[in-house]
């Protein structure tokens, strides 16, 4: 893992801990890797971006990092 990636994951871990979530670096990486973006394309060529089913921990991390605003 490069130094920049390690620094970023440690920063994300610190932010989560400050928000009351006690997560380890390993757990944080696993939970964030499991969040998937899905693009649904309908017959009328309309596409909708959404996120696949998330665990409670993933939903909390999504909220803490402000990722829910990226779906709008």
Per-residue pLDDT tens for 33-63?
999 989 999 999 999 888 889 999 999 999 9
Does residue 71 surpass a pLDDT of 80?
Answer: no
For residue 16, give Cα distances in angstroms to 1, 10, 28, 56.
21, 10, 9, 14
- The pTM is what? 0.75
CA distance 31 to 26: 9
Burial class, 4, CB count within 10 angstroms (exposed 0-12 / middle 13-18 / buried 19+): exposed
């Amino acid at each position: 893992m490069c130094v920049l990636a390690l620094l970023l994951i440690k920063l994300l871990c610190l932010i989560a801990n400050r928000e009351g979530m006690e997560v380890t670096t390993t757990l944080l990486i696993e939970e964030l890797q499991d969040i998937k973006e899905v693009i649904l394309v309908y017959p009328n060529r309309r596409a909708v971006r959404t996120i696949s089913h998330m665990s409670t921990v993933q939903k909390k991390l999504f909220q803490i990092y402000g990722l829910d605003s990226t779906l709008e």
